[in-house]
C-alpha cells in the first residue's frame, strides 16, 4: 500500500466544553474517497477545518506525507484544496474574476481555461454576470469549477452537494471517483446519500470511532 497523504493520530477536539471526538485516528490514502458521517453538530465541519488547518483547537498529531503537517505548511497548502460551507465567491465580482482570484495564488491559468471550467459546470454564458445575480446553486458551481482545473491531490470538501441539482450531483460524484482513480484522495462531509465503491467512512457522534 502506498504512503498515506494525510494521517491523523489520536485527534481530540473540544468545542464549548463538549468533546466532539477523542482518540480519532485514520489515514487518508491516495486513491480513496472518505466520507465523514454523523448527525448535525457532531463535528463534521470542525474535523474538516482541522484537517485543512483552519482550526487550531485540537490535540493529537496530523502527518502530511509522513511528516508533521506544521513543518510542511507550504507543501501541504499547495497540494490541498478545501471548499467550505461558504463558497468563497465575492458577490460583486463575476464568476470569471472570482475563479481567477481563487486560483491566482496557486496556478495562474489562462482565462480560456477558466472559462472552459466554468462552462463545464453549466455556467456557460454567465462568465461576466456579477455573481450576486446568480442563484445559490450557481454560486456554488463557481467554486466547484475549481475541481475541474485543480491539480491538488487532496480535496477536502464540506457539504459539497448543497444546493446542487441532481445532474450536478452525479457529475460531482463522477469527479470525486475520477480524482481517486487518478491517485488523489477526497474527504467529503455530506448528508447526501453518497455511496461510491470502496469508500472509507469516518463516523462521528457515536461511542466508538469506525475506522474501516
Partner 1 sequence: MTAKAPDIRPVTASVGVGQAMKSVFLRDVRVAFRQRQDLLNPLLFFVMVVTLFPLGVSPEVSFLREAGAGILWVAALLSVLLSLDHLFRHDFDDGTLEQLVLQPQPLFLLVLAKTVAHWILTGLPLVVLTPVLGVMVQLPGNSIAVLCLTLLIGTPVLSLIGSIGAALTLGLRSAGVLLSLLIIPLYIPVLIFGTGTVAAASEGAPVGAYLALMGAFLVLAVTLAPFASAAALKISLSNS
- Sign of torsion, CA 19 86 109 185? positive
* Backbone φ, ψ for residue 28 (5° rounding): -100, 105
Task: Specify the residue, 71 or 92, whose C-beta has the smaller distance to partner 1.
Answer: 92
* Min CB(37)–partner 1 separation in Å: 23
Binding-site member from 104, 124, 201, 211 for partner 1 (CB under 8 A): 104
| 151 touches partner 1 (CB under 8 A) | yes
DSSP string, 134-188: S-HHHHHHHHHHHHHH---SEEEEESTTTT--HHHHHHHHHHHHHHHHTT-EEEE
Which three-class secondary structure state does DSSP give residue 53? coil
| 88 touches partner 1 (CB under 8 A) | yes
Contact 205, 42 (CB under 8 A): yes
Cell output for 200 = 472509507
| 80 touches partner 1 (CB under 8 A) | yes
| 105 touches partner 1 (CB under 8 A) | yes
Stretch near partner 1 under the rule CB under 8 A, chosen from 21-29, 36-44, 182-190, 192-200 = 182-190
Return the DSSP state at 192: S
| 89 touches partner 1 (CB under 8 A) | yes
* Min CB(75)–partner 1 separation in Å: 6
| 3 touches partner 1 (CB under 8 A) | no
Task: Specify the residue, 74 or 208, whose C-beta has the smaller distance to partner 1.
Answer: 74
Stretch near partner 1 under the rule CB under 8 A, chosen from 18-26, 181-189, 192-200, 201-209 = 181-189
- Sign of torsion, CA 205 64 89 136? negative
Distance of CA 195 to the CA centre of its chain: 17
Cell output for 152 = 491538488
**Which residues of this chain interact with partner 1, rule CB under 8 A?**
5, 30, 52-57, 65, 74-75, 77-80, 82, 84-93, 97, 100-102, 104-108, 113, 120-121, 130, 147-151, 153, 171, 174-175, 178-179, 182-184
Amino acid at each position: 500500500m502506498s504512503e498515506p497523504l494525510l494521517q491523523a493520530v489520536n485527534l481530540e477536539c473540544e468545542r464549548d466544553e463538549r468533546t466532539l471526538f477523542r482518540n480519532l485516528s485514520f489515514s487518508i490514502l491516495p486513491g480513496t474517497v472518505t466520507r465523514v458521517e454523523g448527525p448535525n453538530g457532531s463535528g463534521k465541519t470542525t474535523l474538516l477545518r482541522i484537517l485543512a488547518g483552519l482550526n487550531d483547537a485540537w490535540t493529537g498529531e496530523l502527518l502530511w506525507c509522513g511528516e508533521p503537517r506544521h513543518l510542511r505548511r507550504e507543501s501541504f497548502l499547495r497540494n490541498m484544496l478545501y471548499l467550505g460551507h461558504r463558497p468563497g465567491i465575492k458577490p460583486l465580482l463575476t464568476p470569471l474574476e472570482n475563479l481567477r482570484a481563487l486560483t491566482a495564488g496557486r496556478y495562474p491559468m489562462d482565462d480560456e481555461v477558466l472559462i472552459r471550467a466554468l462552462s463545464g459546470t453549466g455556467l456557460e454564458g454567465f462568465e461576466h454576470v456579477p455573481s450576486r445575480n446568480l442563484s445559490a446553486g450557481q454560486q456554488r458551481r463557481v467554486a466547484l469549477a475549481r475541481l475541474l482545473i485543480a491539480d491538488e491531490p487532496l480535496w477536502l470538501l464540506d457539504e459539497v452537494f448543497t444546493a446542487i441539482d441532481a445532474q450536478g450531483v452525479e457529475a460531482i460524484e463522477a469527479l470525486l471517483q475520477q480524482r481517486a482513480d487518478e491517485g488523489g484522495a477526497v474527504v467529503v462531509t455530506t448528508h447526501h446519500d453518497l455511496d461510491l465503491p470502496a469508500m472509507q467512512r469516518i463516523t462521528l457522534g457515536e461511542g466508538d470511532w469506525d475506522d474501516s
